[in-house]
């Protein structure tokens, strides 16, 4: 689902809100998650999952095309761990 599809879906479910209001809410939601992660925080959405930052150490790697050694600097990457409710919906138990 793209952001525009999310906005359209929310507009249909909430006809009392304008498309602009829904778009602003979605943009603010993602900006808040981004800002929390940028400050090395953690964002937990109960039942859905949590977002965190993982730090990768600097390392030496090899260019697969040329075989030349290259240095890969340390970096931070976002990490998502799904919540139990989301995992259960994706993998229903056979009754």
Round to whole Å and give the CA distance between 14 and 8: 10
The torsion angles phi and psi of 13, rounded to 5 degrees, stand at: -75, -20
List residues bridging with 53 in a β-sheet. 78
Give yes or no: residues 74 and 84 share one domain: yes
Could you read off the pLDDT of 4-60 as tens digits, one per residue?
A: 999 999 999 999 999 999 999 999 999 999 999 999 789 999 989 999 999 999 999
The whole domain housing 45 covers 41-95
How far apart, in whole angstroms, are the C-alpha atoms of residue 49 and residue 75? Answer: 23
Residues 21 and 49 both lie in one domain: no
CA 53 – CA 24 distance, rounded (Å) = 25
pLDDT tens digit sequence for 49-83: 999 999 999 999 999 999 999 999 999 999 999 99
**19's tokens:** 């498309």
pLDDT at 33: 94
Beta bridge partners of 67: none
92 and 48 share one domain: yes
CATH of the domain at 69: 4.10.520.10
Whether residue 63 is found in the same domain as residue 90 = yes
Work out how many domains the chain is built from and give that number.
Answer: 2
**22, 60: one domain:** no
């Amino acid at each position: 689902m793209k952001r525009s599809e999310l906005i359209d879906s929310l507009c249909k479910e909430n006809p009392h809100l304008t498309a602009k209001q829904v778009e602003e809410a979605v943009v603010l939601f993602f900006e808040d998650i981004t800002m929390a992660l940028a400050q090395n925080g953690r964002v937990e959405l109960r039942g859905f999952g949590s977002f965190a930052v993982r730090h990768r150490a600097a390392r030496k790697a090899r260019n697969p095309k040329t075989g030349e050694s290259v240095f890969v600097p340390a970096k931070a990457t976002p990490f998502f761990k799904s919540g139990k409710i989301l995992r259960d919906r994706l993998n229903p138990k056979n009754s």
